[in-house]
Amino acid sequence: MRLVAVGTGTVIPEGDRGGSCFYLEERGSKVLVDCGPGAVQGVARLGLPWRDVTDLILTHFHVDHIGAVPGLFFSLKHGLDAPRERPLTVWGPPGTRRLFSRLAAAVGDFVVDPGFAVHIQEYGRASFELGGDLELSVHPTAHTEESHAVRITGGRTAIAYTGDTGLPEGETRTLGAFLAGVDVLIAECSLADADVGANHLSPRRLAALAGMARPDLLWVTHVYPRFRMDHDVAGLLAAAGYGGEVRVVADGDGWSSEP
Ligand SMILES: [Zn+2]
């Protein structure tokens, strides 16, 4: 399995960080997890096969996570040498079909009818079979009504992504169990403990969550720029009691299950 951080930014625009987007490849599956502003250009800039995306997984509907969705479908409709025939499946929270029909009403029918089949599968159960022998599991998070964390398993490899989430009482255990034992846990860590609201993670919350999940590697993303520039975020996680390997990722960082 191959994983690439395409967009590691936040709602605050930064020249070197796009909106949330991760690329995952396993066998025939080429998956985008979230598709924030700049994602399509980011995928192209990193030399990844934007033409061949098979699945788009959405964690929630905030625009820093979905802003490039219309652009992706516009490029797949008008930017290819030959019309695409392969279908694309969108996996998203309840409300994803409504989101796409509203996007289509605003910018054009290509969002739902780009000339190839677009299947929209809303999370209504805990797990789904993707192509390429991948399994997608989902778990609601405390961020917006529709927000979910996702876990993608292929063979003996698993990665998980918190999406955006807070950590209310009891969630350390339940969300931590959902995220447990993965090779790479991608986790948001938006703001400092003193500044964070109820619906995001901070170093203390993430240290508790990751301490429960115990991933082989913790990728920290979605760190607000001033917090990231003024602080050693990995050091704060260690100070909060997290002893595992941590990498505060930037756009273009990658990981592979192959040695
Ligand atoms: Zn959000």
Ligand 1: centre distance to CA 156 (Å): 30
Pairing label, strands 134-140, 127-129: antiparallel
Ligand 1: centre distance to CA 10 (Å): 9
Q: Is the pTM of this model over 0.95?
A: yes
Ligand 1: centre distance to CA 188 (Å): 10
Please give the C-alpha separations between residue 196 and each of 15, 168, 189, 224, 227, in angstroms, as whole numbers. Answer: 24, 13, 9, 11, 11
Ligand 1: centre distance to CA 182 (Å): 23
Confidence bin at 125 (pLDDT 50/70/90): confident
pLDDT, position 252: 98
Ligand 1: centre distance to CA 245 (Å): 25
Ligand 1: centre distance to CA 64 (Å): 7
Q: What percent of the chain has pLDDT over 70?
A: 100
pLDDT, position 225: 98
pLDDT, position 131: 80
Q: Do 202 and 192 contact (CB within 8 A), yes or no?
A: yes
| Residue range 121-134: mean pLDDT, rounded | 89
Ligand 1: centre distance to CA 220 (Å): 15
| Residue range 196-207: mean pLDDT, rounded | 97
| Residue range 225-242: mean pLDDT, rounded | 98
Q: Which domain does 79 fall in, by range?
A: 2-256
Ligand 1: centre distance to CA 164 (Å): 5
Higher pLDDT, 184 or 133: 184
Confidence bin at 133 (pLDDT 50/70/90): confident
Is residue 132 scored above 80 in pLDDT? Answer: no
Ligand 1: centre distance to CA 161 (Å): 13
Ligand 1: centre distance to CA 34 (Å): 11
| Residue range 105-118: mean pLDDT, rounded | 98
Number of domains in the chain: 1
| Residue range 190-202: mean pLDDT, rounded | 97
The CATH number of residue 235's host domain is: 3.60.15.10
Ligand 1: centre distance to CA 45 (Å): 25
Question: pLDDT tens for residues 13-22?
Answer: 999 999 999 9
Is residue 32 scored above 90 in pLDDT? Answer: yes
Q: Which parts of the chain are beta strand (E)? A: 2-7, 21-26, 29-33, 55-57, 88-92, 118-122, 127-129, 134-140, 148-154, 157-161, 184-188, 217-221, 246-248, 254-256
Ligand 1: centre distance to CA 157 (Å): 27
Question: pLDDT tens for residues 138-155?
Answer: 999 999 999 999 999 999
Q: Report the mean per-residue pLDDT for the chain.
A: 97
Ligand 1: centre distance to CA 81 (Å): 35
Least confident of 78-82, 107-111, 123-127: 123-127
- The two counts, helices (H) then strands (E), for the chain are 8, 14
Q: What is the DSSP letter of 200?
A: S
Q: Do 90 and 118 contact (CB within 8 A), yes or no?
A: yes
